[in-house]
Structure 1
Amino acid sequence: MPSPATAWTADLDLLVGAAKLAGAKALDFFRKGPEVWWKNGGRSPVSAADFAANDILKKELLSARPNYGWLSEETDDDAGRLDCETVFVIDPIDGTRAFIAGKDIWCVSAAVVHRGRPVAGVLFAPSLDELFTASAEGPALKNGKPIAATETDAARPTRIAAPEDMAHGIDRHMLGGVHRISHVPSLAYRLAMVADGRIDATLVKRNSHDWDLAAADLILSRAGGALVTLDGEPLSYNRPTVSHETLAAAGSSRLSGLVEAARHLAGH
């Protein structure tokens, strides 16, 4: 019987193959005016590309692992997933608004979650030709090369991506100054930018969801960072409620200072 580490590596390979197929399908719709619908009371768009990519992911992944549960932004939730120790957590297109607008920063987000924590994760940004991967026992990679979150550097301000009100509300003195990065339309991709060191930190408004976070959480963790609540706690996935409170992410040496500087923003 394979060890858990071997199993998660095999799951990672499965995720990579499925994400590449889904990303290729999404590209068929990109900048071609796909049909768009609105959900959640008209606040959240979903396109024909989201559904087409979701169909490919569901077919490829569940046919290979029929005993795993399924949680996807574009599939009606099935409470049966709560009975599964291991679950696929999927966002077929993270950054749908950017996708619809013809902007390049969107990605397929696919993770395997085991007993509440991600153990294999893939972010594939086909328009940028970028593939981020990690498994529970392996390194975080971008296009096959190791990546790492930044360490504390007192010589320059912290480069942070966050909604404007949160960036202005953070205690800048505790971080030695802050340089706000302009809006990144995909939350998963924003976390990947922390993992590969292009930015130092990010804050996440409340009501993000498992599918936005699980794959990126693992990639960031294996890159030497973490995604946590403003109490400093790691996230748990595949719960009855799949939304989360206000979050912070950074490299490990920066994280406690970031959490402390942002704790009063809880509830944003």
Structure 2
Amino acid sequence: MPEADIALLAEAARAAGKIATRYFKRDLKAWDKPGSQGPVTEADLEVDTMLRETLGAARPDYGWLSEETPDAPSRLSATRVFIVDPIDGTRAFIEGNPTWSHSLAVAEDGDVIAAAVYLPIHDKLYLAGRGEGATLNNLPITASDRVDVTGAEVLAARPAMDPEHWHEGTPPELKRQFRSSLAYRMALTAEGRKDAMLTLRPTWEWDVAAGTLLVTEAGGAATDRTGAPLRFNNPTPQVRGVVAGGRHVQSGLIQNLA
């Protein structure tokens, strides 16, 4: 049972928030990572170091996969692995937008079994455990029960709405909104505040591992863009996009995708 790991992730996520908020809206060092991998800041690295040391000490037999740690093939032989994004939505963090998060997950043999997504500025802590349901600040959350894709509220970047991605053009009247943090997009979807989220390009595991469990434990569905199950701790730590949401809307989006 994942209860002990959920508690561990929750404590670590709050500790990450204390570090990151010291830097938020301050004059911090930031630079672009090589290979068009986006920005990173000194806050990302300090949070990553703390999480790696804290979680590693608590579970020394678990593997480690983080956006800000050089990848090590030893994780592939571990039964359980931490999958971590120290700050998800770094661009928002740099810009002073509060919708960044800490995303922490434990995967066992490819399936996420414990998850935490924390937004320190809003003090919103989303937690989930396999078979245990999903919560926001200790209260149960449930994904959207909307049936009709037409008019659904969907979190996505603008390019995902391009007609080329859809069999018969973009589904009509989709109400697209955006949040920088993929983990927060998935958390809002799990909470039922949005009907679905999608990202259609290859997606790093650390962005979506925790959110995947939040959505499914909230009664929704989360797959890759083809409708295949999401599996984690892959040799190349990416999945083929993500479509997540209430079961009816999620299925409808998958059916419409080219």
* Cα separation, 1, equivalents of 2:169 and 2:37: 35
Q: Is the 8 A contact 1:121 1:219 kept in 2?
A: yes
Greater shift in the superposed pair: 246-255 or 193-202: 246-255
Q: Which moved more, 1:58-67 or 1:221-230?
A: 221-230
Alpha-carbon distance between aligned partners in 2 of 1:98 and 1:43, rounded to the nearest angstrom? 15
Paired letter, 2:242: L
In the comparison of the two structures, how many residue pairs are matched? Answer: 256
Displacement of 1:156: 6.7
- Cα 1:254/1:156, change in 2 over 3 Å: closer
Note the residue ranges of structure 1 that are not aligned, 5 or more in a row: none
- Once residues 170 and 92 of structure 2 are traced to their aligned partners in structure 1, the CA distance between those partners, rounded to angstroms, is 33
Match of 1:247 in 2: 242
Distance 1:176 1:94 in 2: 30
Contact 1:175–1:257 (Cα < 8 Å) also in 2: no
- 1: distance between equivalents of 2:83 and 2:77? 15
Scaled by the length of structure 1, the TM-score of the pair is 0.90
Output the CA distance in 2 between the equivalents of 1:21 and 1:30. 15
Cα distance in 2, alignment partners of residues 58 and 246 from structure 1: 26
Q: Sequence identity of aligned pairs in percent?
A: 38
Query: Superposition pairs for residues 113-192 of structure 1, below 5 Å?
Result: 113-154=107-148, 157-169=151-163, 170=166, 177-181=173-177, 183-192=178-187
Residue 143 of structure 1 and its aligned partner are, at CA, apart by 0.8
- Aligned ranges 1:18-29 → 2 under 5 Å: 18-29=12-23
Q: Does the C-alpha gap of structure 1 residues 108 and 172 become closer, same or farther in structure 2, counting only changes over 3 Å?
A: farther
SS of the equivalent of 2:251 reads helix
Where in structure 2 are there 5+ consecutive unaligned residues? none
Do structure 1's residue 74 and structure 2's residue 68 form an aligned pair? yes
Contact persistence 1:158–1:176 (CA under 8 A): no
1:241 and 1:154, CA in 2 relative to 1: closer, same or farther beyond 3 A? closer
The AA in structure 2 aligned to 1:111 is A
- Displacement after TM superposition at 1:176 (Å): 6.2
